[in-house]
Structure 1
Amino acid sequence: MADQHAELTWKEDRIPVSDQFDDPYFSLQNGLEETRHVFLSGNDLPARFAPGFHIAELGFGTGLNLLTVWSAWEATGQTTPLRFTSFEAFPMAPEDMARALAAFPEVQPWADRFLSRWRGGSCQFDTLHLEVIEGDARQALPGWIGKADAWFLDGFSPAKNPELWGADLMQQVSDHTAPGGTAATYTAAGFVRRGLEEAGFAVTRAPGYGRKRHMTRAVKA
């Protein structure tokens, strides 16, 4: 388990901002729509959903990405478990998660189900098998034996959290991606794109969400 936890300041009493990285956890405009645009559409979801589908993520944060994709998984009639693995160095306290997620009533039913069981680590439902691996992803990911069909690359801004965007870590992401798998992120930073390309992804720049002009989509060759 991680020995460090998220330290927060609240903007407008509802948007958590990381004290460690001086960066908000989700879009100040609409975090739910940003998740749908960047991570779901960016990975061609829910069109690719299939039994056994496995999503991996860098940066669990509030759990909003998980809840958004879990709700989409159930909405498309999937009855088997979605597999979701996330790497998080600074886990957020459940009460802080609840406070942040209250801003998104559309996913509140899934938030309530999740938080009723969440104690850190792993959590299982009929339609979700979640594992959150706590600690620095640079140490944790090389030892992970899974391969994801889609990656949500959702660390804090590369300018403020460069450790989660380095070429070595992007290579580990590639090494833990199934053939034909994808990755998506809100950032279009050049060094992130180059790192993904050097790791074996075909990288494209796509329209970003809100005020962000561009985002990045990647497909494992």
Structure 2
Amino acid sequence: MPFSNAFQDHFYSKADGRAECDHVFIAANRLAERWQAGGTFAIGELGFGTGLNFCETLRQWKRLRPADARLSFTSFELYPMKPSEIDRALSHWPEIGEERRALVSRWPDEPSDTIVIDFDPQTRLAVHCGDALTSLTASAGRIDAWYLDGFAPSRNPDMWSAALLQAVFDHTRPSGTFGTYTAAGFVRRNLQAAGFSVTRAPGFADKREMLCGRRPDAP
């Protein structure tokens, strides 16, 4: 169970991080349904961490994607791990063994700046190493679905700030969505102030609630 000394928090649920990803991000954003439309689909993530969310998403994407679909997965990470650390953390789940090996074999020994990896003609990963607000503000991309997966708001409030969540909204396509494990009141208020419609939903494992929502359609 990897633990961040910087934020004094675990990287994912003690119950099952892979199942948490499926519940909080993949299901809440209705990805299996939305991928069927084909074309290019863009996922944004705050907090790459061990790469668990990406690997589980890649596993399901390969199984469900239409032949003409493309996935762009963009993540923002201040403290990128080394390949050996990612490999050790993700080896817990044999279900994503293929995806773990593909990620670790392509991940740089000294990650910095922006890491771009093409896994196949249909899948591209980009990880911006540095401050999320600075990197996102400078980005011209637009996102269809967000994984808001920073450490606990009480331990890492900058990842849930009004300024960063406003930038998330500004880089979200109309009808774009988000999911997050947290239901903290100030996070909900910041998301609503940014312009998202926000819904409380059943949380994963022992968490009673989580938040999900969408950017309203363009007028």
Deviates more, 1:202-211 or 1:119-128: 119-128
- In 2, distance between residues paired with 1:115 and 1:92? 11
Q: Are 1:54 and 2:48 matched, yes or no?
A: no
Partner of 1:87: 76
Secondary structure of the structure 1 residue equivalent to 2:28:
helix
Deviation digits for residues 82-119 of structure 1, max 9, x if unmatched?
Answer: 10000000101110000000011101111111211122
Partner of 2:166: 171
- In 2, distance between residues paired with 1:192 and 1:44? 22
Q: Are 1:69 and 2:69 matched, yes or no?
A: no
Letter in 2 for 1:174: F
Q: Are 1:104 and 2:104 matched, yes or no?
A: no
- Report how far residue 205 of structure 1 moved: 0.2
Q: Are 1:30 and 2:16 matched, yes or no?
A: yes
> How high is the TM-score relative to the length of structure 2?
0.92
Deviation digits for residues 104-136 of structure 1, max 9, x if unmatched?
Answer: 110111111121112241100223111000111
The alignment-based identity, stated in percent, is 46
- In 2, distance between residues paired with 1:162 and 1:91? 19
**Cα RMSD for the two superposed structures:** 1.0
Give unmatched runs, 5+ long, in structure 1.
1-14
- In 2, distance between residues paired with 1:87 and 1:218? 20
- In 1, distance between residues paired with 2:65 and 2:5? 39
Q: Are 1:124 and 2:112 matched, yes or no?
A: no
- In 2, distance between residues paired with 1:89 and 1:207? 29
Partner of 1:161: 156
- In 1, distance between residues paired with 2:193 and 2:162? 8
Partner of 2:181: 186
Give unmatched runs, 5+ long, in structure 2.
none
- In 2, distance between residues paired with 1:40 and 1:77? 14
- In 1, distance between residues paired with 2:119 and 2:27? 24
Deviates more, 1:84-93 or 1:114-123: 114-123
Are the counterparts in 1 of residues 102 and 119 from structure 2 also a CA contact under 8 Å?
Answer: no
Letter in 1 for 2:194: A
Letter in 1 for 2:100: A
- Report how far residue 81 of structure 1 moved: 3.2
Q: How many residues get paired?
A: 207
- Report how far residue 77 of structure 1 moved: 3.6
